[in-house]
């Protein structure tokens, strides 16, 4: 087992196992060794299910030896954000609220296993995923592999740290206000928030009302597409949201890589939806360089000045309503963090009727954005986050309101697209002079994830990133 296989991504690992170059069991043991080496520093995992994963890898090898058909993720170790159900494990939501293991996989986990993936464990998040910093009283602060004094972002920060450090090639995150894109930006990953209703939320009917979605974080565009082609368009009868069926994400990623994707009209802006939030010098430079690159690739690139609607009245009721609902769902509400219980009390006004009104307001905002932005351009290009990854401890020890205020700038480019349901992707843009990742965000019309994947793959080919390794490697 070479170190290179651990860094070869989903595509490389799946190909090696299917070709018989390495067994699923051997790949898993190398993965577990990498986790044992790196995770004591990063605190990415809440639990490593080594014994269960070994049994699963052995079953994958037995099936392959018997000549059974292999799934597209056959033998690939993956991790799951600890707000999603994995049979036999406690769904912690980043805290002490639950103590009993769940009996069944959530739908996303089930689909990954059906495709042949091996689940190695669950990853850290702030309790209930409330903040864009992965700081948990129970599991500690997750650290950024590029600089362990910095945050990996959140709320899928454990997922991002696990992938960026080479512990796994892909891991599942969730995004209710930027929680796939923000940690991807902080850790130098590709992270696509899909269109609302693209991936099943089952066993729950929705995630944070109309805000939340599930998806992978990976080091390459193709790896993301491979995982999404397992997850997409498989919603269940209990899911509230259903996106129109899509075409192959893998084909879209490959069209970007081979130059066959169509040329686009791309609007770019440094403007945030939060007053006073502007990109740092490093992120502004990354944006300008990407504008130049896209022009060189033959796209029509124009500066735009979107008149973004105010999303506060659509976003905050759903956030507070979700925290109140999740507080009711856990087995031990009294064991939740003090800040979480405070959020639930502050959100007493976020009744189901108020949340429903916020969802309707979000749909009106989506229609406005469609007219003001996507009536003019195919893709919108912005920064993903305003600055470089902040130091660890951004909300540590703070009460609810100061934590929300500290979080607001981090979601300034992302949260609007949760309100509207548009797909949006964080794309690596290089390293700052301090060797920290920079990132740009691509946004497309609802249902147009394939447009983003093709464009991101073009950027990736012109500006290779996936082979770079952080400090902890």
From the list 165, 179, 272, 407, the catalytic residue is 179
In angstroms, the CA 316 to CA 340 distance is 15
Distance CA 286, CA 292 (A): 10
Q: Counting every residue, how long is the chain? A: 473
Is 155 noted as a catalytic residue in this protein?
A: yes
DSSP 367-406: HHHHHHTTTT-SEEEEESSSSSPPBS-SSTT--HHHHHHH
Is residue 210 among the annotated active site residues? no
- Options 8, 11, 23, 81, the catalytic residue: 81
Domain ranges of the chain: 3-462
Per residue in 52-102, pLDDT (tens digit) is: 999 999 999 999 999 999 999 999 999 999 999 999 999 999 999 999 999
404-447 pLDDT tens trace:
999 999 999 999 999 999 999 999 999 999 999 999 999 999 99
**By three-state DSSP, how is residue 430 classified?**
strand
The DSSP string of 444-458 is ESTT-HHHHHHHHHH
Please report, for residues 112, 158, 198, 446, the alpha-carbon distance to residue 202 in angstroms, rounded to integers and kept in the order given.
14, 22, 12, 21
179 is annotated as an active-site residue: yes
| Confidence (pLDDT) at 25 | 98
Eight-state DSSP code of residue 421: -
Geometric angle at alpha carbon 426, from 420 and 427, rounded to 5°? 145
* Structure confidence by residue, pLDDT tens digits, 272-317: 999 999 999 999 999 999 999 999 999 999 999 999 999 999 999 9
At 85 the pLDDT is 98
Tell me which CATH code domain 3-462 carries: 3.90.1300.10
Distance between CA 44 and CA 149 in Å, rounded? 14
pTM reported for the whole predicted model = 0.98
CA distance linking residue 162 with residue 145, whole number of Å: 9
Among the listed residues 11, 155, 200, 202, the single catalytic one is 155
Phi, psi of 366 (to 5 degrees): -60, -40
pLDDT, tens digit, 9 for 90 and up, residues 23-40? 999 999 999 999 999 999
């Amino acid at each position: 087992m070479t170190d290179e296989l651990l860094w070869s991504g989903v595509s490389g690992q799946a190909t090696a196992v299917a070709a018989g170059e390495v067994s699923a069991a051997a790949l898993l043991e190398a993965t577990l060794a990498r986790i044992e080496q790196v995770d004591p520093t990063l605190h990415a995992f809440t639990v490593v299910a080594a014994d269960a994963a070994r049994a699963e890898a052995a079953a994958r090898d037995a099936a392959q030896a018997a000549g059974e058909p292999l799934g597209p993720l056959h033998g690939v170790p993956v991790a799951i954000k600890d707000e999603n159900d994995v049979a036999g494990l406690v769904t912690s939501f980043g805290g002490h609220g639950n103590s009993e293991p769940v009996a069944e996989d959530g739908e996303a986990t089930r689909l990954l296993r059906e495709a042949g993936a091996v689940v190695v464990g669950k990853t850290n998040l702030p309790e209930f995923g409330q903040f864009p910093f992965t700081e948990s009283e129970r599991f500690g602060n997750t650290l950024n592999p590029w600089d362990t004094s910095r945050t990996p972002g959140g709320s899928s920060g454990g997922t991002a740290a696990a992938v960026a450090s080479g512990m796994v090639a892909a891991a599942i995150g969730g995004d209710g206000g930027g929680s796939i894109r923000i940690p991807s930006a902080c850790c130098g990953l590709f992270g696509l928030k899909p269109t609302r209703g693209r991936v099943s939320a089952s066993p729950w009917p929705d995630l944070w009302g109309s805000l939340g979605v599930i998806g992978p974080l990976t080091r390459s565009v193709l790896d993301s597409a491979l995982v999404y082609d397992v997850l997409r368009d498989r919603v269940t009868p209990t899911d509230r949201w259903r996106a129109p069926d899509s075409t192959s994400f893998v084909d879209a990623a490959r069209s970007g890589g081979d130059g066959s994707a169509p040329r686009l009209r791309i609007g770019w802006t440094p403007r945030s939806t939060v007053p006073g939030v502007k990109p740092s010098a490093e992120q502004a430079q990354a944006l300008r360089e990407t504008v130049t690159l896209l022009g060189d690739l033959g796209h029509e690139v124009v500066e735009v000045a979107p008149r973004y609607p105010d999303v506060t009245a659509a976003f905050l009721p759903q956030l507070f309503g979700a925290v109140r609902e999740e507080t009711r769902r856990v087995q031990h509400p009294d064991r939740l963090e003090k800040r979480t219980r405070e959020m639930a009390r502050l959100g007493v006004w976020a009744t189901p009727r108020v949340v429903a009104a916020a969802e309707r307001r979000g749909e009106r905002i989506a229609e406005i954005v469609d007219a003001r932005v996507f009536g003019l351009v195919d893709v919108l290009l912005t920064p993903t986050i305003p600055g470089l990854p902040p130091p660890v401890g951004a909300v540590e020890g703070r009460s609810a309101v100061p934590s929300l205020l500290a979080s607001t700038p981090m979601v300034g480019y992302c949260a609007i697209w949760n309100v509207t349901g548009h797909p949006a992707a964080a794309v690596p843009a290089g390293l700052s002079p301090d060797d920290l990742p920079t990132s740009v965000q691509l946004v497309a019309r609802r249902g147009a994830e394939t447009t983003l994947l093709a464009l991101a793959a073009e950027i990736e080919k012109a500006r290779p990133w996936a082979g770079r390794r952080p400090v902890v490697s």
